[in-house]
Structure 1
Amino acid sequence: MQATATAERKSAASQVSQRYAKCIEASKRVQWDIDRDVIRGRTFDFTKKFMPDGLSKINELPFLNGDEARFLSQIQGRTYANMFGLVERFIGAKVLEVSKAHWLGDQVALEALIRLTDEELKHQELFRRLEVMTAEGMPAGYQFKPRPNEVAHNVLAKSTWAVLGLTLDIEIFSQTHYRASIEPDTNLSDLWKDVFLFHWKEESQHAILDELEWRREHARLSEVERDRGVMDLIDLVGAVDGICQVQAEADASYFLMHAGRAFTSAEEKVIRDVVLKAYRWQYIVSGALEPRFADVLKALVTPAQMDRIGKALGPLLEHAAH
């Protein structure tokens, strides 16, 4: 019986190692360069939208004309790129940290995680460059409020279980956004669209690795440590919502300043509410509702813990999905 159990453990470990190996293979196959493959000497087409309507919620602002709707989509798109640059700051650091568990163990897993970290550093460089490029074609006054290093420091102070859970959520919704909304929209700037095509190609492998590492971390924790992780994850969701609120207010104000006409106080209120709704949808709710993430989360938490998470998400779900 002991020999059978040992054989089963070895078989399970081999299967996990094969998943890491497949991520390495895919990473090598889709590897891209910022200048050669993505930017290719191009600039953004500001006669087109950046964010698709399904993500921007602009269709909930029927009183905007075409130019105004396009401008607001470009503001949201600029923030979308900056937000990914922000989260990849702590994602890269956390993955580099958890890779330590494989230093003297599975070298295939180690290679996969190091490749992920290298790709996240590349993504950060890409998004920094996009901010410079979008600034050249938009009015002065835009502000990205969160400070990436400060946010990363606060996130990394939470338990690894919680950070890996948040990371999986982010990297799954980045894929969902591209496939469901960005890729099929023919009215977006070609360059902006290509940025998220290439980003999606690498994030597909990252989500697999996130899940493997989250499950590995979960397996080594006590019940008390897992419960702390759930509390930390709820806190992190609240922190993300805080960022959404601050940036939504900044972006709505920037839009109102440069829209080219005055809006009624009622219209201004709706604009601010819709931008916040869009950001809650983009960065929290769309990921929480994604079946792939929900299935992993349910497998790792108790019904009581799931209920706590659901109550914390309830007000956000009600606002963003309404």
Structure 2
Amino acid sequence: MEITTDVNQIDANRYAKCIAASKRVRWDIDRDVIRGRSFDFSKKFLPDALSKVDSLAFLGPDEQRMLSQIQGRTYANMFGLVERFIAAKVLEMSGPYHLGDQNALEALVRFSDEEIKHQELFRRIERMCAEGMPTGYAFLPEANSVASFVLSKSTWAVLALTCHIELFVLAHYRGSIDGDANASELWRDVFLYHWREESQHAILDELEWQREDARLSPEERDKAVDELIELVAAVDGMLQTQARADADYFATICGRPLTMAGKESVHAGLLGAYRWQYIISGVQEPRFSHALGSMITRNQASRIETAMTPIMS
């Protein structure tokens, strides 16, 4: 029996369109993205629109570039981490379609395959970053532990977080094409090709999230909202930990002693940038706020807003 969702009037043709788009934009890590290149360490890895290093006016241009490169390495590690639990969840989501809608099944199988490829891309990027950076960098979150925690939550909450992630990738691509001549061309291509496939993933996330929402009772949805808040808090906890580690690493390799106030400014700048990159840029995407807002009550929205206030500020 094919899965249908009368409540949300989901159009099965959208799965077929995602398959067609997946085939059209399909890319290869070596042939299309890396193309035999290595990183040019005379350039920033992330554009200022994402890294926010230009807000740290007490740092010189070379120091801002170095801090951007540290953020780029953390970016690769963060996406290697989140793609792991996304791939696992998408494979799980495909289960009900095994003997049902074969367009939906193929779309989700392709989705999971692309997420596994993205993991490999970002592992490659991490190794390439490491080749030109001083020793001492450490990425502290452990991918399997994070994935286990995320996947312990309800499907509604995990799909909400996943949709949020896919949509902020689109925002990051827009931020990477602002004409910053000091940004790495290779990193621009990473943003471009990642965006090409994540654009389809965001559509599938929305379809599956709506399907899951339609089957929940009000009590189940209320619990799922609390779990989404827990997941965002866990992401923010990771960002706080990594921002401190990256600030300490920068202070060690920047080539001059920083005052305590300077170290704290770097830490605050990194935390603000990471919160923008991995939380705020997705929350502020109109597609995400519209999708979430269509599913929750005013009281639930108020609980989310209260939890988000310290992060947004």
Fold shared, TM-score > 0.5 on shorter chain: yes
Q: What's the counterpart of residue 3 of structure 1?
A: none
Match of 2:176 in 1: 182
Aligned to 1:17: 12
Greater CA deviation, 218-227 or 113-122? 218-227
- Which amino acid is the alignment partner of residue 27 of structure 1? S
Please report how far the alpha carbon of residue 9 of structure 1 lies from its aligned counterpart in structure 2 after TM superposition.
4.8
1:1-322 aligned within 5 A: 9=6, 12-13=9-10, 16-179=11-174, 181-184=175-178, 185-318=180-313
For the aligned residue pairs, the C-alpha RMSD in angstroms reads 1.4
- CA distance, structure 1, for counterparts of residue 141 and residue 259 of structure 2: 29
Give the match's secondary structure for 2:294: helix
CA deviations over 1:49-76 (Å, ceiling 9, x no partner): 0111121121221011111000000000
CA distance in 1, matches of 2:18, 2:181: 30
State the shift of 1:268 in Å. 1.3
Q: For 1:274-298, what per-residue CA distance to the aligned partner results, in whole angstroms no more than 9, with x for missing partners?
A: 1111111111111111111000000
| CA 219–144 in structure 1, closer or farther in 2 if over 3 Å, else same | same
CA distance in 1 between partners of 2:91 and 2:194 (Å): 19
Deviation at 1:11, TM superposition (A): 11
CA apart distance, 1:267:
1.3
Matching residue's letter, 1:226: R
CA distance in 1, matches of 2:7, 2:290: 25
More helix by share: 1
What SS does structure 2 have at the residue aligned with 1:263? coil
Give, as a single letter, the amino acid of the residue that structure 2 aligns with 1:43.
S
SS at match of 2:140: coil
**Distance (Å, rounded) in 2 between the aligned partners of 1:190 and 1:310:** 37
SS of 1:300's equivalent in the other structure is coil
Q: How big is the shift at 1:101?
A: 1.5
Give the AA of the match of 1:75.
I
Q: TM-score, normalised by structure 1?
A: 0.93
Question: Where does structure 1 lack aligned partners over 5 or more consecutive residues?
Answer: 1-7
Q: TM-score, normalised by structure 2?
A: 0.96
> Using the alignment, how far apart are the partners of 1:288 and 1:10 within structure 2?
25
- Letter paired with 1:217: E
What stretches of structure 1 move > 6 A for 4+ residues in a row?
Answer: none
Q: Residue type of the partner of 1:183?
A: I
Q: Distance in 2 between matches of 1:281 and 1:11?
A: 32
Distance 1:40 1:129 in 2: 13
- Provide the rounded CA distance (Å) in 1 between the counterparts of 2:295 and 2:98: 26
Report if aligned partners of 2:160, 2:228 keep a CA contact under 8 Å in 1: yes
Q: Distance in 1 between matches of 2:311 and 2:122?
A: 27
Q: 1:180-217 CA distances to partner (integer Å, 9 max, x unpaired)?
A: x1122332111111111100000000000000000000
Unmatched segments (≥5 aa) in structure 2: none
- Quick one: which amino acid aligns to residue 238 of structure 1? A
2:162 alignment partner AA:
T
**Partner Cα separation in structure 2 for residue 116 and residue 91 of structure 1:** 9
- State the aligned residue count: 308
Contact kept, 8 Å, 2:80 with 2:118, in 1: the verdict is yes
Distance of 2:7 and 2:268 partners within structure 1: 53
Distance 1:268 1:161, change over 3 A: same
Question: Sequence identity, in percent?
Answer: 62
- 1:41 is paired with a residue whose SS is coil
**Is residue 8–residue 214 contact of structure 2 (8 Å, CA) maintained in 1?**
no
C-alpha distance in 2, partners of 1:44/1:278? 22
Distance 1:55 1:151 in 2: 24
CA contact (8 A) 2:166 2:201 kept: yes
Q: Mark the CA change 1:66 to 1:224 in structure 2 (over 3 Å): closer, same or farther.
A: same
| Separation of aligned partners in 2, 1:10 and 1:214 | 13
